[in-house]
Structure 1
Amino acid sequence: MKGKIAFLFPFLFLIFLPLAFSQTDFGYQEEPEGQDVFVDYAYFSEGNSWRLEVYYKIFNNKMTFVKDQDKFKASHEIELVLFNKGKQYTASSHEEEFAVDNYQETRSAAAFLINRVDLFAPAGEYKLSFRLNDHNSNRVSKFEQMVTLPAIKIGEPLFSGLELARSVEEDKDSSKFVKRGKKVVPSVSDLFGDPEGFFWIYFELYGVLPAGKVEDYRLGYELEGSNKAIILKDTSSAALLSVFDQTLYGFKKIDLSSVPDQTCTVRIKLFDRKGNLIAKAQKELKVEWSPLYQVNTNWDRAVEILRYVASDKELKELRETKGKEERIKKWREFWKSKDPTPDTPENELMEEYYKRIKYANEHFGIYDKEGYKTDMGLVYVKFGPPDEIDRHPFELDVRAYQVWYYYRLNRKFLFVDVNGYGEYELRYPYDGRR
């Protein structure tokens, strides 16, 4: 039952209501479970005050869509409030509408809307309150987090907040999320280890110029693991930073391909010529299983996982590839050849494929067999989540079985727990096709 997965990622149509200090975008990414909306922030200097950039991300399957002529539309209100000492200091609210072309996209756990709202405040301790009201369901999602905006002192080096991003690219069209001529799309979720196996940091550094010189300082980057051990470390010259209006800024790409699953702290440090630490900034993130990590550490398994999307010829060529660098190159070339939208930084097919592999391993594994190798895993990876599951775990004189219905494909599959140990086998022919 081997074959390529056919995905259709229709164009996402976004109705953006022009609002002060608000920017919107959309994309594809695996949805972390258990949350309706994800919120993050970073802060940047605005003279003697701060611009607090609040980012939020909502996955399609967490929004309620209604049919409107030939589109499906979601509508909600976003409200942000910044409290200081129990009193409201500033607030912002706006309405958003989001539309997709078909019903399947309304259920997508990979497609999302991402937005940024700016609030302005001086140094201090604040509580950030975020509220989303879904107009179509009246469902309310809330998020609260304490925010510390540090004091700005003239001549004293100070980092901005760290903005963690999934992509940084040249922007010639002045599109959304532009910083210093580059489009910086924030991650919002703190979960990394995606198929590409890296993330970006954007930061600014204040208080060095004009009194000091860039060459008088050096930067250090490090990634600390959950056991406090330093996993990655890089020391660079501050001269590699760029300068704009007396502000130093930088983009740093962090490779996660050699980092196993764990909670990490990414940290940037500023040292003077004598090696004294004079400023630092840090942020926590989580690293989960990355396909690129598998490519680096277990090539045979990395190739085997491709069994449902690669041809026998492609699998043979990949298995015969030798050398770490050549394997990474071949793996990237393989997925590039499958990219349904090669002109964008996202590879929707790759992201969806590994999302399904991960789900299959988490839900269908049995004893020493990985979930994607089971019959249920095979069907799930090839066809995605079923529209309906008819479960029969306890039937007299009948083995436990399940029927998976794919109404959109006009297909159904029967799985039977033949041996009574929880491994459901696919029974043919059930709908007459493979």
Structure 2
Amino acid sequence: MSSSGVMRVREGTRRRRDRQAVGWPALDRALAQGIPFAYAARPDFPPDLEGGLVLRFRHSLLLLLSLTACSSWQRVGHDTTPTPEETLTSLFDMPAVYRGMGRLAAGSPLPFVGTMVVAAGPGDSVKAILGLSIENRALSFRKEGSGFLAQYRVEMYLESPDAPPIRFARDQDIRVAEFAETMRADESVLFQQLFHLKSGAYRVTVSVRDPLSGRQAQAEANFVAPDFQAASFSAPILAYQVTGRRSRDQDLAVVLSPRGTVSYGGDTLLALVEGYNFSTPTAIPFQIVDDLDSVITRDTLRFTGAREVESQVIRIVPDNQPLGELRIRVGKDSAVRQTSALVSFSGAWILTNYSDMVDLLRYFGHEDQIKQLKKAPADERPRLWQEFYKNTDPVPATPENEALEQYFGRMAIANQRFTDEEVPGWRTDRGMVFITLGDPEEIYNASSTPQGRIIRWTYTQLRLEVVFEDTANVSRFRLTSDSRSAYNRVLSRVRRAES
């Protein structure tokens, strides 16, 4: 068993919102050579569809493509109805959601998401790739030359009862040109490492460390490297770009999507399925189901039996209900192999229910556009959401919407901070004021005095003072009438200045 080295291919390239292709010649060369890699900007590859079968199912457009060069996949989803509190749980506890999908996932102080994918190697060996996803903002950058530099170290330990353990450690540099890129909250750093394994059960432990800050996080998971015999196939491998191979000796040329998350009304993703040593033309069934196990789409992958390795790609195009966890199942009965993907309103937050998402925006402003979102029929929602995302973005040059990032970040803090009332923290009056205006410069807390239960916040720069009063002594602090009027006036002034 062995592992091959990691190289940095390209760093600091900003993902364009205009959806134009980004040039990645170094990445293309690495893919052509089968080289594992790490890089610091998520690519935005255009689809390369050279024919294929187009089928329409209910709310999805499905393309089945024989893969000889590069192809892509599409997505569907099911609009389930969790409560707003459940929506907030997944929004603010992303590692738990990804662990539930079978990923490696770590939270603070250095969050990352990882995946292990496996495919057939020569003889009875297995090729495995570890893929990690890290946000730029999780790393500490320092000024170097005309740009900014961050470093991280990945350590992995693989153990199996049937094989010697594998250890490796790699140090990576991330270079970006502008300070704004250091705060990116999307899947901006991807890391990959290829291994050659024997078939069997494994436990993998991965840690990521930022040497500049000393922050470190660790995740563990179990996985199985199957014995890929003749007439077998791989589990779906989620990726941004893939290149088909013809033999087991060739390395996998893929850019993995460790999170397997796609954005509502926007991105696409690839699901690669390899078939091995079919002696005759063979049809393998597959289906896509939602998190309630309802079938979204079902069809067949067809392998000709002409090559040692044949590659198929499923492409799911964003549609009118692409929300929630999707499970892509290939095969049937005991031979089923499955992978989970997630369709959310953003790659940066896990929001998978349309009505709850709109409800969470109640303090965001832009009331006219939010009313449009609320009233939108299902087939108009992706377009209106993309327009809303673009129109409310204060810095269009970056891939994130900084206003929404700040809004949901404050909502998370409010939910954790204001826990002394019967409603969730973000729905309290203090939560509302904090989410819209941020922290006050001064706080006077008389919530436990016999003279009266009040809390006073002072925003010196905004020339605003608001008082929250618990008049019924039931731990429900409400803005006084005068304070609510003053708050509304200041908030209107702030939003006019921002528009």
**Which TM-score tier does this pair reach, normalised by the shorter chain?**
0.5 to 0.7
Report the CA distance between 1:269 and its aligned residue: 2.9
Residue 63, structure 1, aligned to residue 139, structure 2 = yes
Look up the equivalent residue of 1:417 and give its one-letter code. F
Residue 219, structure 1, aligned to residue 292, structure 2 = no
Aligned twin of 2:293: 230
Output the CA distance in 2 between the equivalents of 1:109 and 1:340. Answer: 15
Q: 1:375 to 1:179 in 2, by over 3 A?
A: farther
Q: Compute the RMSD of aligned alpha carbons.
A: 5.2
Aligned twin of 1:205: 274
Aligned twin of 1:248: 311
Residue 330, structure 1, aligned to residue 384, structure 2 = yes
Please, which of 465, 468, 473 is the counterpart of residue 417 of structure 1? Answer: 468
Whether the aligned pair in 1 keeps the contact of 2:131 and 2:256 (CA below 8 Å) is yes
Whether the aligned pair in 1 keeps the contact of 2:39 and 2:190 (CA below 8 Å) is yes
Aligned twin of 1:21: 36
Cα shift readout 1:52-90 (whole Å, capped 9, x = no counterpart): 111112233432333445544322222223333386444
Q: 1:196 to 1:361 in 2, by over 3 A?
A: farther
Report the CA distance between 1:44 and its aligned residue: 1.9
Output the CA distance in 2 between the equivalents of 1:100 and 1:60. Answer: 10
Q: 1:368 to 1:269 in 2, by over 3 A?
A: same
Query: After superposition, where does 1:375-390 map in structure 2 within 5 Å?
Result: 376-377=431-432, 380=435
Look up the equivalent residue of 1:335 and give its one-letter code. Y
Query: After superposition, where does 1:340-419 map in structure 2 within 5 Å?
Result: 348=401, 352=405, 355-356=408-409, 359=412, 362-363=415-416, 371=426, 374=429, 376-377=431-432, 380=435, 392=445, 399-402=454-457, 416-419=467-470
Query: After superposition, where does 1:295-334 map in structure 2 within 5 Å?
Result: 302=358, 305=361, 308=364, 310=366, 312=368, 314=369, 323-334=377-388
Cα shift readout 1:318-348 (whole Å, capped 9, x = no counterpart): 56x664324544344443555689899x664
Cα shift readout 1:191-235 (whole Å, capped 9, x = no counterpart): x585459974523232363x121xx4142213264xxx5223422
Residue 163, structure 1, aligned to residue 237, structure 2 = yes
Report the CA distance between 1:349 and its aligned residue: 5.5
Cα shift readout 1:232-273 (whole Å, capped 9, x = no counterpart): 342213249999864132224387975887xx67241326xx
Q: 1:244 to 1:337 in 2, by over 3 A?
A: farther
Cα shift readout 1:368-396 (whole Å, capped 9, x = no counterpart): 7993795644653x57x769996847575
Describe the SS at the equivalent of 1:417.
strand
Report the CA distance between 1:20 and its aligned residue: 5.5
Output the CA distance in 2 between the equivalents of 1:219 and 1:280. Answer: 9
Describe the SS at the equivalent of 2:155.
strand
Aligned twin of 2:338: 282
Please, which of 100, 106, 114 is the counterpart of residue 39 of structure 1? Answer: 114
Output the CA distance in 1 between the equivalents of 2:397 and 2:120. Answer: 34
Q: 1:41 to 1:111 in 2, by over 3 A?
A: closer
Whether the aligned pair in 1 keeps the contact of 2:264 and 2:343 (CA below 8 Å) is no
Output the CA distance in 2 between the equivalents of 1:243 and 1:31. Answer: 46
Q: Could you list the runs of 5+ residues in structure 2 that have no partner in the other structure?
A: 1-10, 15-25, 44-90, 96-106, 246-252, 495-499
Whether the aligned pair in 1 keeps the contact of 2:443 and 2:457 (CA below 8 Å) is yes
Q: 1:421 to 1:283 in 2, by over 3 A?
A: same
Q: Could you list the runs of 5+ residues in structure 1 that have no partner in the other structure?
A: 1-10, 169-176, 272-276
Look up the equivalent residue of 2:379 and give its one-letter code. E
Output the CA distance in 2 between the equivalents of 1:377 and 1:136. Answer: 36
Output the CA distance in 1 between the equivalents of 2:204 and 2:167. Answer: 10
Cα shift readout 1:84-136 (whole Å, capped 9, x = no counterpart): 33864444432112245666765665564221111121212223232323221
**Size of the alignment, in residue pairs?**
382
Report the CA distance between 1:178 and its aligned residue: 4.1
Q: 1:376 to 1:256 in 2, by over 3 A?
A: farther
Whether the aligned pair in 2 keeps the contact of 1:129 and 1:144 (CA below 8 Å) is yes
Look up the equivalent residue of 1:134 and give its one-letter code. D
Aligned twin of 1:8: none
Whether the aligned pair in 2 keeps the contact of 1:52 and 1:118 (CA below 8 Å) is yes
Describe the SS at the equivalent of 1:352.
helix
Aligned twin of 1:188: 258
Look up the equivalent residue of 1:207 and give its one-letter code. Y
Look up the equivalent residue of 1:253 and give its one-letter code. I
Output the CA distance in 2 between the equivalents of 1:25 and 1:83. Answer: 29
Q: 1:118 to 1:311 in 2, by over 3 A?
A: same
Whether the aligned pair in 2 keeps the contact of 1:76 and 1:134 (CA below 8 Å) is yes
Please, which of 190, 200, 210 is the counterpart of residue 134 of structure 1? Answer: 210
Residue 97, structure 1, aligned to residue 173, structure 2 = yes
Which structure shows the higher strand fraction? 1
Describe the SS at the equivalent of 1:330.
helix
Output the CA distance in 2 between the equivalents of 1:354 and 1:330. Answer: 19
